[in-house]
Amino acid sequence: MWYFLIKQAALDRAHYQALQKRAVLTEVELFNEPYENWYIFSVEKEAYTAFMDHLDRDGISYDLTADRPTREEMLDSMR
């Protein structure tokens, strides 16, 4: 499984819905101000290249990891 992490502000509603259809699971990590919320899209190994190509074509920036980051790890990356 691969995990694509995208800041909520980077996606409009149409992009979010399109990515939800391509992912196995979508999660939202909510953070209080001044931190941004994150979308986490879980994608099977076989579909990860197509998912990444879709993001790259649309110019959406993301972080990619093979292990689901913890909430604390995500918070640390924003500090």
With a CB cutoff of 8 Å and minimum separation 6, the contacts of 28 are: 8, 37, 38, 39, 40
Instruction: For residue 68, give the DSSP letter.
Output: P
Residue with tokens 């994150």, as numbered in its chain: 38
The one-letter amino acid code at 68 reads R
The per-residue pLDDT for range 31-77, each reduced to its tens digit, is 988 889 999 999 999 999 999 999 999 999 999 999 999 999 988 88
> Looking at residue 32, which CATH number applies to its domain?
3.30.70
What is the domain count for the chain?
1
The per-residue pLDDT for range 3-33, each reduced to its tens digit, is 999 999 999 999 999 999 999 999 999 998 8
Beta strand extents in 1-79 (DSSP E only): 2-7, 25-29, 38-43, 63-65
pLDDT at position 79 over 90: no
